[in-house]
Amino acid sequence: MNINLQVKNGETSLKALILVGGFGTRLRPLSCTRPKALFPILNKPLLQWTFERLVKNGIREVILAVSHQAEILIKQQKIPKNGLKITYSRDLFKKPLGTGGPIKKAEKLVGRDSPFLVLNGDIFADIDYKEILKTHEKKKALATIALHNVKDPSRYGVAELTKENRIKTFVEKPPRKLAPTNLINAGVYILSPKIFEYIPQGRKVSIEREVFPKLAEEGRLYGHIFDDLWIDIGEPEEFLEINRTLLNSTALLQKHKMRTRGKIEEPVAFDKNVLIGEESVVGPYAVLGRNVTIGNNVYIKDSVVFPNAVISDFSIVNGAIIGENVVIGKKVKINRGCILGDNVKIEDNVTLANRVSICPAKEVSESVLKPKCVI
Out of 17, 65, 190, 292, the residue judged to bind ligand GTP by CB under 6 A: 65
Q: How far is the CB of 140 from ligand GTP (least distance, A)?
A: 27
Going by C-alpha positions, the residue among 362, 351, 354 that lies closest to residue 337 is 354
Q: Are 241 and 341 in contact (CB under 8 A)?
A: no
**H, E, C per residue of the chain:** CCCCCCEECCEEEEEEEEECCCCCHHHCCHHHCCCHHHCEECCEEHHHHHHHHHHHCCEEEEEEEECHHHHHHHHHHCCCCCCCEEEEEECECCECCCCCHHHHHCHHHHCCCCCEEEEECCEEECCCHHHHHHHHHHHCCCEEEEEEECCCHHHCEEEEECCCCEEEEEEECCCHHHCCCCEEEEEEEEECHHHHHHCCCCCCCCHHHHHHHHHHHHCCEEEEECCCCEEECCCHHHHHHHHHHHHHCHHHCCCCCCCCCCEECCCEEECCCCEECCCCEECCCEEECCCCEECCCCEEECEEECCCCEECCCCEEECCEECCCCEECCCCEECCCCEECCCCEECCCCEECCCCEECCCCEECCCECCCCCEC
Nearer to ligand GTP, 124 or 314 (CB): 124
Strands in 357-358's sheet, in edge-to-edge order, are 268-270, 286-288, 303-305, 321-322, 339-340, 357-358
Q: Rule CB under 6 A: say whether 53 interacts with ligand GTP.
A: no
Nearer to ligand GTP, 269 or 304 (CB): 304
Binding segment for ligand GTP among 114-122, 241-249, 316-324, 353-361 (CB under 6 A)? 114-122
Catalytic residue among 139, 173, 301, 345: 173
Out of 61, 71, 91, 324, the residue judged to bind ligand GTP by CB under 6 A: 91
Q: Rule CB under 6 A: say whether 25 interacts with ligand GTP.
A: yes
Binding segment for ligand GTP among 24-32, 47-55, 274-282, 311-319 (CB under 6 A)? 24-32
Q: How far is the CB of 20 from ligand GTP (least distance, A)?
A: 5
Taking each helix axis as running N to C, give the angle between helix 68-77 and helix 46-56, from 0 to 180 degrees, rounded to the nearest 10: 80
Binding segment for ligand GTP among 74-82, 118-126, 157-165, 360-368 (CB under 6 A)? 118-126
Q: How far is the CB of 218 from ligand GTP (least distance, A)?
A: 24
Nearer to ligand GTP, 144 or 280 (CB): 144
Q: How far is the CB of 89 from ligand GTP (least distance, A)?
A: 8
For the beta carbon of residue 136, count every other beta carbon within 10 angstroms.
Answer: 23
The size of the interface with ligand GTP (CB under 6 A), counted in residues, is 21
Nearer to ligand GTP, 158 or 269 (CB): 158
Q: Rule CB under 6 A: say whether 173 interacts with ligand GTP.
A: no
Out of 13, 58, 96, 150, the residue judged to bind ligand GTP by CB under 6 A: 96
Q: Rule CB under 6 A: say whether 107 interacts with ligand GTP.
A: no
Q: Is-catalytic flag, 15?
A: no
Q: How far is the CB of 23 from ligand GTP (least distance, A)?
A: 4
Q: Rule CB under 6 A: say whether 20 interacts with ligand GTP.
A: yes
Out of 33, 50, 120, 303, the residue judged to bind ligand GTP by CB under 6 A: 120
Nearer to ligand GTP, 96 or 277 (CB): 96
Cα of first residue to Cα of last residue in the chain, in angstroms, is: 54
The residues pairing with 167 across neighbouring beta strands, listed in sequence order, are 161
Nearer to ligand GTP, 19 or 211 (CB): 19
How far apart are alpha carbons 335 and 371 in whole angstroms?
10
Binding segment for ligand GTP among 15-23, 151-159, 240-248, 287-295 (CB under 6 A)? 15-23
Out of 153, 157, 234, 236, the residue judged to bind ligand GTP by CB under 6 A: 234
Binding segment for ligand GTP among 22-30, 143-151, 176-184, 340-348 (CB under 6 A)? 22-30
Q: Rule CB under 6 A: say whether 26 interacts with ligand GTP.
A: yes
* Residues taking part in catalysis: 173
- Chain residues binding ligand GTP by CB under 6 A are 19-26, 36, 65-66, 91, 96-99, 102, 120-122, 234
